[in-house]
Amino acid sequence: MRLDVVTIFPEYLEPLNVSLVGKARARGQLDVHVHDLRQWTYDRHNTVDDTPYGGGPGMVMKTEPWGEALDQTLADGYDAGAQGPVLVVPTPSGRPFTQELAVELSERPWLIFTPARYEGIDRRVMDEYATRMPVYEVSIGDYVLAGGEAAVLVITEAVARLLPGVLGNAESHRDDSFAPGAMANLLEGPVYTKPPVWRGHAIPEVLVSGHHGKIARWRRDEAFRRTAANRPDLIERCDPAAFDKKDRETLSILGWAPEPGGRFWRRVEGVEE
C-alpha cells in the first residue's frame, strides 16, 4: 500500500517510523511519503492560509498550495506505478472513523491524506479532487483537535495492522473489539497473562481449565458485560438474531430486556413495567 501525507508539520508524522507501521515500512508492506505543503508556496512567508469569505474567526487553508501539492503527489505516485488513489481528509465534520471503515481503506492500494490546520481547507479542494477519485472525509471522534496529523496517525495504524502480513499472528485482529464475525458489535473483554496471581489478584479460573467451550462462553459473557457498561448503544444496535439463549440470560442479568421488535433495550432501574 502507498501512503502520501501532505502537511505543514512533516515532523509530526515521525511516529510512522516506529513500531508496527515502522516495521511494515521497513518490510516494504507500506510505502510512505510525507510532503511539506509549504513546498508549494511562493511568497516570503510561505503562506498557506487566508481570511474566510463571509467573515468570522480563524483562517482557512488556501486552494492553490493544496491543488499543486495534490497534483504533484498524484503525478509522482502514478509515475512510480501506484494505482487507485483515494483522498482521506481528516475533519471533525466527516463520517466517523470505525473498524469497518478501516477495513474498507485497508483494501485500497493508495491513500492520500490531507491533514489540515486552522479552520480547515477551502471546500473547493475536496470538490475538485472528488471529480477524480473517491474522497473520504473522516472524523476520529466527537472532539476538535488543533490539526489533522494525529488523526492521520490513528487512521494509518488502524489500517496498517489489517494489511496481510503486518501482524505476526493473522488471528490477532479476529477477536478485536468491533471485529466482524461472531462477536460483531461487542467490545473485547479483559485479557490476562502470567503470573496466575499478582498482588493477590488471581486470574479467572476458567482460563486455565483447558475447556475451550467454557473459555469461549466466558469471553463472550465478559464482552457483553463490558459492552453493556461502556457502549450500551452497540447492544441496542445488535441484531437480536445474533444472540443465543445464554446471551439473552446474560443481558437480562445486566438489566436488558427485548422490546416487541426483538431489539434489546436497557430497563431503567426503579421503573415499573
Ligand X SMILES: C[S@@+](CC[C@H](N)C(=O)[O-])C[C@H]1O[C@@H](n2cnc3c(N)ncnc32)[C@H](O)[C@@H]1O
Which sequence positions are flagged as catalytic? 92, 119, 161, 176
Task: Return d(Cα 38, Cα 11) in angstroms, integer.
Answer: 13
Task: Return d(Cα 258, Cα 141) in angstroms, integer.
Answer: 30
Written as nine digits, the cell of 144 is 476538535
Task: Return d(Cα 97, Cα 152) in angstroms, integer.
Answer: 11
Distances (CA, A) of 241 to 117, 188, 247: 45, 20, 11
Quote the least distance from Cβ 40 to ligand X, whole Å.
Answer: 18
Q: Are 110 and 135 in contact (CB under 8 A)?
A: no
Task: Return d(Cα 248, Cα 185) in angstroms, integer.
Answer: 15
Residue 65 or 115: the one with the smaller Cβ distance to ligand X is 115
Quote the least distance from Cβ 66 to ligand X, whole Å.
Answer: 12
Residue 101 or 183: the one with the smaller Cβ distance to ligand X is 101
Written as nine digits, the cell of 82 is 501506484
Written as nine digits, the cell of 26 is 521497513
* Residues of the shown chain interacting with ligand X in the complex, contacts defined by CB under 6 A: 90-93, 115-117, 119-120, 139-141, 143-148, 151
Quote the least distance from Cβ 131 to ligand X, whole Å.
Answer: 21
Residue 140 or 223: the one with the smaller Cβ distance to ligand X is 140
Quote the least distance from Cβ 128 to ligand X, whole Å.
Answer: 17
| Torsion angles phi and psi, residue 65, rounded to 5 | -60, -40
Residue 86 or 203: the one with the smaller Cβ distance to ligand X is 86
Give the number of residues written for the chain.
273
Quote the least distance from Cβ 68 to ligand X, whole Å.
Answer: 19
Beta bridge partners of residue 113, listed in sequence order: 5, 88
